[in-house]
Amino acid sequence: MASSSTAPAPAPPGLKEGIAGLYDESSGAWESIWGDHMHHGFYESGEAASMADHRRAQIRMIEEALAFAAVSDDPEKKPKTVVDVGCGIGGSSRYLAKKYGAQCKSITLSPVQAERGNALAAAQGLSDQVSLQVADAMEQPFPDGQFDLVWSMESGEHMPDKRKVTFFNSDWLTADAEHFEIYYQFVSELARVAAPGGTIIIVTWCHRNLEPSETSLKSDEVNLLKRICDAYYLPDWCSPSDYVSIAKSLSLEDIKTADWSENVAPFWPAVIKSALTWKGITSLLTSGWKTMRGAMVMPLMIQGYKKGLIKFTIITCRKPGAT
Ligand SMILES: C[S@@+](CC[C@H](N)C(=O)[O-])C[C@H]1O[C@@H](n2cnc3c(N)ncnc32)[C@H](O)[C@@H]1O
């Protein structure tokens, strides 16, 4: 259906170091206020008054993602091997390992996160099931076809891939999209390490889909995203339909996507509120400049959601083969 033979372009200079530095610096402060999940919560409207509500919402995000992808709880069919790509301090890794009794390999660019995540796994008696290591999602240190569940919770937005992908004989792409730049290498690595029949779950930040009449976002939208990207070490974003195109080009099956932007609306206001507490302010001041800069652009995330520019997106699919 599609073909591409060029090698992946290297990440923009300093991107990986910037990501590692941001999370080395900020993970301790985040954990002390928010706990071990570094991702949005999933809320009902009107929910979320206390920090306990937010923590529940973060767990609910994991459960909603698993349900959306129809991951089975059946002892015969449940995932026995999991890879957590962009794992933070391993909140999802430990949750999934416990839930399914699975073996979980987890990767992050941040040495501080890997060390902390392994310490937490040891403290919870999970050392024989969960192991975190420093590795790049774009070149995962795993052989092909290893994992029943490939999990990427809010790491996709950090992934660079400016490789040009050429699609041939496509019945699902418009002619002017024959050449375009998307997060191809990231998804193709997720697909490579998935076992035949394995489920891939990507929960990530996207920009809105373009209208048929558009070839790019509007300049004010580009400017808003640029300020967010600079602070959070994010390369250019793609849209939900770009992800669907990539998944189709890789011949992945059961491709599904949903916009959960409404369900995450209470999250950023809550993060800002927590940053303005005494504990939040002291944590920010002692964490360092990257963390402070990240805190300063938080209101832009709210703005992006309100404008309909930022889309909190889930994409799930399955690698062809045995289930
Ligand atoms: C917002 S945190 C999400 C952490 C975790 N998934 C969670 O839900 O708690 C983003 C994570 O992506 C990781 N990351 C970003 N780019 C990466 C890459 N190229 N390879 C591996 N990990 C990456 C960061 O190191 C960080 O752990």
* Domain CATH code at residue 136: 3.40.50.150
| Rounded Cα–Cα distance for residues 83 and 305 (Å) | 29
In a domain, residue 202? The reply is yes
Residue nearest to atom 14 of ligand 1 (CA): 86
What's residue 285's pLDDT? 76
Q: In which band, very low, low, confident or very high, does the pLDDT at 48 lie, cut at 50, 70 and 90?
A: low
Instruction: Tell me if 112 CB under 6 Å of ligand 1.
Output: no
Residues 6 or more apart in contact with residue 310 via CB below 8 angstroms: 205, 206, 207, 208, 225, 261, 301, 304
Residue 3 has pLDDT above 60, yes or no: no
Q: How many angstroms separate the alpha carbon of residue 286 from the centre of ligand 1? A: 22
Q: What is the mean pLDDT of residues 15-22?
A: 90
Residue 140 has pLDDT above 90, yes or no: yes
In a domain, residue 8? The reply is no
| Rounded Cα–Cα distance for residues 304 and 301 (Å) | 5
Say if residues 228 and 296 touch (Cβ distance below 8 Å). no
Q: Which among 152, 157, 120, 132 is positioned nearest to 238, based on CA atoms?
A: 157
Q: How many angstroms separate the alpha carbon of residue 194 from the centre of ligand 1? A: 18
Q: Rounded to the nearest 10 degrees, what angle do helices 91-100 and 111-123 cross at?
A: 40
Query: Which uninterrupted H or E stretch holds 193?
Result: helix 184-193
What's residue 175's pLDDT? 35
In a domain, residue 9? The reply is no
Atom of ligand 1 nearest to the CA of 152: 6
10 Å Cβ neighbour count for 240?
Answer: 20
- DSSP alpha helix (H) spans, 74-147: 91-100, 111-123
In a domain, residue 4? The reply is no
67-106 residue pLDDT tens: 999 999 999 999 999 999 999 999 999 999 999 999 999 9
What is the residue type of 232? Y
Q: How many angstroms separate the alpha carbon of residue 170 from the centre of ligand 1? A: 33
Say if residues 17 and 235 touch (Cβ distance below 8 Å). no
Instruction: Tell me if 26 CB under 6 Å of ligand 1.
Output: no
Question: What's the domain range around 258?
Answer: 15-318
In a domain, residue 173? The reply is yes
In a domain, residue 75? The reply is yes
> In the chain, how many domains are there?
1
Instruction: Tell me if 153 CB under 6 Å of ligand 1.
Output: yes
In a domain, residue 2? The reply is no
Q: Which among 203, 208, 213, 309 is positioned nearest to 257, based on CA atoms?
A: 203
Instruction: Tell me if 88 CB under 6 Å of ligand 1.
Output: yes
Q: In terms of residues, how long is the chain?
A: 323
Lookup: tokens for 20 = 């590692």
Q: What is the mean pLDDT of residues 266-277?
A: 86
157-176 residue pLDDT tens: 998 865 444 444 344 344 33
Instruction: Tell me if 109 CB under 6 Å of ligand 1.
Output: yes
What's residue 323's pLDDT? 67
- For residue 216, CA distances in Å to 54, 126, 234, 300, 304 come to 35, 46, 18, 20, 16
Lookup: tokens for 55 = 């923590």
Instruction: Tell me if 138 CB under 6 Å of ligand 1.
Output: yes
In a domain, residue 122? The reply is yes
